[in-house]
Amino acid sequence: MATERLTDPASPTPAQRGRRAAVLQVLRASDEPLGAAEVAERVGAHLNTARFHLDALVADGRAARDTVPRTERGRPKVVYTSVDGARSGDSRSFRLLAEILTGIVAASVPDPAAAALEAGRAWGVRLTDSPAPGERIDADEAQRRIIAGLDRMGFVPDADEEGDTRQLRLHHCPFREAAQERSEIVCTIHLGLMRGAVARLDAPLVVEDLTPFVRPHLCVATLHRTRG
C-alpha cells in the first residue's frame, strides 16, 4: 500500500481533506479508542498516512490522543478518540430524533422543501457575522467565510479558489443518515444555510444548487460569481 504525498497538515489538499474526513468518521463510529494501525486498516491507508491525519486532527482539536497499557510487555499503546463527533449510541439517538422531526415537517408542511430552504436561509443569516461598517465582501472572501462556517459545522469543505463558477465540495456530512432518508429536507436546509450566509455578507456570489452524495461521502455545491 503506497503512502500518499504528505504536505503541511494545516493546509491539506482536496484529496487529503477527503482522507482526513474518512479518518475522523472512523473515530466517530468506534465505541472505543483506536490505534493508528486500526485506523489505517479501516480507511485503507498506509500507517504513516493514518498517523499524519490523526496528528492533524489532534492539532485541530477534533481528536484526542491517549495511551493505554499493553497486555504484553512494551511501551503503552497510543490511541485516538473523536472529540467533536458523537459516539455510535448517540448517533442512533440523533438519527431517530432527526427522522421524527423531518417526518413531522414532511407530513405537516404543504411544501417541505420550500420550508426547509427558508429555515436554512434564516439560520445562515443568523450564524454569519455581518461585515464591518463600510466593508465590502468580494466573492473570494465570501467563499472563504462560507467554507470556514461549514468547516466549523463539520462538513470538511474545500473549493476552487477563483473563477466565475466554483465547485464547493463537502467531504463529510454531519447529518449523513438523516440526509439519506430525507434529502429533500436536510440537504435543502444546507443549501439555505449557504444562501443565508451570502445574503448576510451581501457578496456578489450566488449559491445555485447543492447536489447530495455524488459519491458516498461527497456532496457538491455550485456557486457563481455575479458582476454586481
DSSP output for 60-126: TTSEEEEEE--SSSSSPEEEEEESSS--HHHHHHHHHHHHHHHHHHHHH-SSHHHHHHHHHHHHHHH
Identify whether 96 is part of a domain.
no
SS3 label, residue 161: coil
| Structural domain range at position 37 | 14-82
Tens of pLDDT, residues 171-204:
888 888 788 888 999 999 999 999 999 999 999 9
Identify whether 169 is part of a domain.
yes
Identify whether 103 is part of a domain.
no
Q: What mean pLDDT is reported for the chain? A: 85
Contacts of 19 (CB under 8 A, 6+ apart): 4, 43, 45, 49, 53
N- to C-terminal Cα separation, the chain: 50
* pLDDT above 80 (res 217): no
Asked whether residue 194 falls in the same domain as residue 118, the answer is: yes
Identify whether 4 is part of a domain.
no
pTM here is 0.66
Structural domain tally of the chain?
A: 2
* Nine-digit cell string for 142: 465570501
Taking the C-alpha atoms of residue 2 and residue 11, their distance in angstroms, rounded to an integer, is 21
Asked whether residue 46 falls in the same domain as residue 148, the answer is: no
Identify whether 8 is part of a domain.
no
Query: What is the per-residue pLDDT for 204?
Result: 95
Asked whether residue 116 falls in the same domain as residue 221, the answer is: yes
Average pLDDT on 113-118 reads 95
Query: Closest Cα to residue 53, out of 106, 114, 4?
Result: 4
Contacts of 209 (CB under 8 A, 6+ apart): 191, 221, 222
218 phi, psi to nearest 5 deg: -145, 125
Query: What is the per-residue pLDDT for 133?
Result: 92
- Looking up cell 443569516, which residue turns up? 125
Confidence of residue 59 (pLDDT cuts 50, 70, 90): confident
Query: Closest Cα to residue 21, out of 217, 226, 227?
Result: 217
Query: What is the per-residue pLDDT for 60?
Result: 83
Of 55-64, 147-156, 206-215, highest mean pLDDT: 206-215
The kind and range of the H/E element at 165 are: strand 165-170
Tens of pLDDT, residues 118-149:
999 999 999 999 999 999 999 999 999 999 89
